[in-house]
Amino acid sequence: MTVNIILLGPPGAGKGTQARRMVEGRGLVQLSTGDMLREAQASGTEMGKLVAQVMKDGKLVTDEIVIGLIREKLENTDAPGFIFDGFPRTLAQADALGSLLDGMGQKVDGVIEMQVDDAALVERISGRYTCGNCGEVYHDTTKPTKVEGVCDVCGSTDLRRRPDDNADSLKTRLLEYYKKTSPLIGYYYAKGDLHPVDGMAEVDDVEAQMETVLKSL
């Protein structure tokens, strides 16, 4: 039995934080198109160079590129299920994902909509930093590292802030979200796949809400 879950929500909703927790102990694989695009940039591929400015500005990368990334991962990864984090972000991406999974004899089993107030998103994004080595997600006030400058999980000192985590870019990212991604809420509601959770709650509480959804699938 496979289980494929989409985490849907605006930038800063907590998708990455929760995806990492859902993966632990379940063998599920987290597929974050944002992480894949940042990796492409870090390794200096042509595609990475092509998307760098688009990402910095907070606009969406083309459907063709992100669908290609997801297709490649799905074709080459053997897993009991996937947690899609930051994908799909457009209706075209949602349709493509449905077709790709269909071709594998699988489907989207549930879509978790993480509901967070816009004002909280600004707070979360402006305080976010991540470990460049293991990907653990931190926040200046709500989740700082125990020892300043050192990752709690892997001990790395490579803690990074994203170039697109600034006020200008966030404004564009939110506009992109409401214009192009939020229609997916209605799309998955109509399919009977939507499960809203209160993303304003504490991280552990949000995780517990997600557990409840997973058990219900």
Q: Is 89 a catalytic residue?
A: yes
Instruction: Give yes or no for residue 88 binding ligand ADP (CB under 6 A).
Output: no
Instruction: Give yes or no for residue 34 binding ligand AMP (CB under 6 A).
Output: yes
**Part in contact with ligand ADP (CB under 6 A); list of ranges 61-69, 90-98, 136-144, 147-155:** 136-144
**Least Å from the CB of residue 112 to ligand ADP:** 11
Locate 6 and state its tokens.
């989409």
CB-nearer residue toward ligand AMP: 173 or 195: 173
Sequence-separated contacts (24+) of 177-185 with Cβ below 8 Å: 177/10, 177/11, 177/89, 180/60, 180/89, 180/90, 181/8, 181/10, 181/89, 181/90, 183/91, 184/8, 184/88, 184/89, 184/90, 184/91, 184/94, 184/111, 185/8, 185/113
What is the H or E stretch that residue 138 is in?
strand 137-139
**Least Å from the CB of residue 57 to ligand AMP:** 8
Which one of the listed residues 15, 20, 38, 124 is annotated catalytic? 15
Instruction: Give yes or no for residue 173 binding ligand ADP (CB under 6 A).
Output: no
User: Total binding residues for ligand ADP by CB under 6 A?
Assistant: 19
Active-site annotation, residues: 15, 89, 128, 162, 173
